[in-house]
């Protein structure tokens, strides 16, 4: 696990350094679709991550957001989000990151999320807790639900399905009626980081994308967040009171 963690942190930091340089140089070339955006920087970041992972673990499987599935010869599989927050990146909004999750026999065992603009690195190892910049952290907050800030995350599938979008709108309305603010950042992995250090009161995900959910959910779990999921609806909170409130309204 030490080797896995060290390699994953190195890969995320290499990708992060590249993204910061492109962001500061305003190298924001991208292809814009009706419900998504793909930046040149996505591919550049992914290439740097893949180079490191493939050199260290050539037999591991990989699922990367841009290049898709690469079959491996072992029970280990990496899930890569090379640029979480592409819309933010391309709009000049300084809120984006990189994320890796390592799965063993389909169970996440390692999560690394890197916020390159703040030089913050979140790590979770199954059964061993979570850290921020190598210091232990906990998902604890004493903010009451009526003053809470809750991140609401929807996956790309929701935007492409009218029925799912209707349900997402219902969830959004329910959350808005029971907390101070519903936060929609378009960089979910950084939201998971904030929850896991007690800076957000909750994260609610509806049909989240795989490349971000594995890393975020393990980080929340290992930081002690209160968790529940039913199908493709996931709830994580930094206090018992907020968790109970969210469970009752959604």
Lowest-pLDDT range of 15-29, 86-100, 161-175, 202-216: 15-29
> What is the C-alpha to C-alpha distance for residues 173 and 192, in angstroms, rounded to an integer?
21
Residue-level pLDDT at 98? 97
Residue 233, token pair as written in the block? 């609806």
Asked if residues 13 and 114 have their Cβ atoms less than 8 Å apart, the reply is yes
More confident residue, 190 or 90: 190
pLDDT at position 25, please?
A: 87
Say how many CA atoms lie within 13 Å of 229 toward its Cβ. Answer: 16
How confident is the model over 178-204, as a mean pLDDT?
Answer: 97
Q: DSSP letter for 238, please.
A: S
Provide the β-strand partners of residue 43: none
- What per-residue confidence (pLDDT) applies to 102? 98
Q: Can you tell me the mean pLDDT for 52-79?
A: 94
pTM of the model: 0.94
Are 234 and 213 in contact by the 8 Å Cβ rule? The answer is: yes
Q: pLDDT band at residue 31, thresholds of 50, 70 and 90?
A: low
Structural domains of the chain sorted by starting position, each given as residue range(s) with its CATH number in brackets: 2-136 (3.30.540.10), 145-249 (3.40.190.80)
Q: Please give the DSSP secondary-structure letter assigned to residue 201.
A: S
């Amino acid at each position: 696990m030490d080797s896995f963690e060290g390699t994953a942190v190195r890969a995320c930091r290499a990708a992060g350094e590249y993204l910061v340089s492109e962001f500061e140089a305003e190298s924001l070339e991208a292809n814009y679709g009706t419900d998504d955006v793909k930046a040149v920087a996505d591919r550049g970041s992914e290439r740097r991550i893949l180079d490191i992972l493939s050199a260290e673990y050539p037999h591991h499987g990989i699922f990367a957001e841009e290049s898709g599935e690469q079959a491996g010869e072992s029970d280990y599989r990496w899930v890569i989000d090379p640029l979480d927050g592409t819309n933010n990146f391309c709009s000049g909004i300084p809120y984006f990151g990189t994320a890796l999750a390592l799965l063993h026999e389909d169970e996440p065992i390692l999560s690394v999320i890197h916020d390159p603009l703040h030089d913050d690195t979140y790590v979770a190892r199954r059964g061993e807790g979570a850290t921020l910049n190598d210091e232990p952290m906990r998902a604890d907050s004493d903010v009451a639900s009526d003053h809470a800030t809750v991140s609401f995350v929807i996956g790309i599938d929701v935007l492409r399905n009218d029925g799912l979008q209707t349900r997402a709108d219902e969830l959004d309305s329910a959350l808005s009626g029971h907390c101070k603010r519903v936060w929609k950042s378009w960089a979910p992995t950084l939201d998971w980081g904030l929850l896991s250090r007690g800076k957000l009161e909750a994260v609610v995900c509806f049909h989240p994308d795989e490349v971000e959910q594995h890393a975020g959910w393990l980080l929340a779990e290992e930081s002690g967040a209160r968790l529940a999921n039913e199908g493709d609806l996931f709830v994580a909170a930094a206090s018992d009171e907020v968790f109970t409130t969210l469970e009752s309204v959604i």
